[in-house]
Amino acid sequence: MCANGAETPRLLLMSKSPQFPHGLANSSGKVGKYLMFNGHAQASALYEHPLNEFKSVAVSRVIHDFYDSDSKRGFYGGGGIDMRFVSYPMQFALRGLPADAPRWGPEFKKMLQERYTRTVNASGHTTSLPVEANSISLDPNVKDAWGLPAVRVTYKDHPEDMKTMQFFQARCKELLEATQPRKVWTRELRNQTFGYHLLGTCRMGNDSHNSVVDKYHRAHDVPNLFICDGSSFVTSGRGQPTCTIQALAFRASDFIIRMAKNGEIKSAI
């Protein structure tokens, strides 16, 4: 199974039976729990001349000076800072200008035309702590187009996650200010209400009472079921989890092949 950290637990939770009354592979009750998003913090800067960042690669440079957690900062967490400008024109119109900019009329259009090519963002991608209450579950009322329960997301950033994001936003702002732009601004950091990285909802572990899959991504309850996506993560990392997911999937594939050759995986009947 590889349907990401939202749809994988949803499918498992919907797959109830007399053998699995709480959902497939969910004897531990941990399916859907410990959802992690990765934190995000950003500062923006406006420059005198066009930089045309929208024509560049998504991430043009990465800083890992604050990657590891450091107790001297007074909180747990770390991450990286990258320079990116991934705003399409419509997205830039909605969120690309500072809070004091006009939102309608000729001046608004003029600012969009000028600033789209002259704006740079410094973005912090940070850790999220695994909190059991943060979860993917089945909505008891909302159904999808096929009449099946929709995903319900319950999430609140841990206080340490908020401190980490605040720290990285300040570093992003300092970095841009050092380049002497025309203007630097940030947005108020709020508790996240959505995420791109859906991690941790079918967590890995040796103890079948506290995890869903083992170290080879094999479900504790269902020997023929392997879950190979970000849902197996027990920590969020510092953002950008794709390469880690791919590496773990290759590792799980090697294990599946080896087990199949040894006759330790049952054939479907």
Residue 170 clears pLDDT 50, i.e. is over it: yes
> Domain 1-36+197-269, CATH 3.50.50.60 — does that match?
yes
Domain coordinates of the chain in residue numbers? 1-36+197-269, 38-192
Cβ 43 vs Cβ 184: under 8 Å: yes
Bridge partners, residue 41, by sequence: 124
- The residue among 128, 99, 154 whose CA lies nearest residue 41 is 128
* DSSP 8-state class, residue 62: E
Q: pTM for the complete prediction? A: 0.91
Give the Cα separation of 116 and 54 in Å (integer). Answer: 8
Residue 60 clears pLDDT 70, i.e. is over it: no
Residue 51 clears pLDDT 60, i.e. is over it: yes
* Tens of pLDDT, residues 194-210: 888 999 999 999 999 99
In whole numbers, what is the pLDDT of the chain averaged over residues? 93
* Tens of pLDDT, residues 85-123: 888 899 999 999 999 999 999 999 999 999 999 999 999
269 pLDDT band, cuts 50/70/90, is very low
Give buried/exposed letters for 44-74 (b at 16+ CB in 10 A, else e): bbbbeeebebeeeeeeeeebeebeebeeeee
- The residue among 51, 69, 49 whose CA lies nearest residue 60 is 51
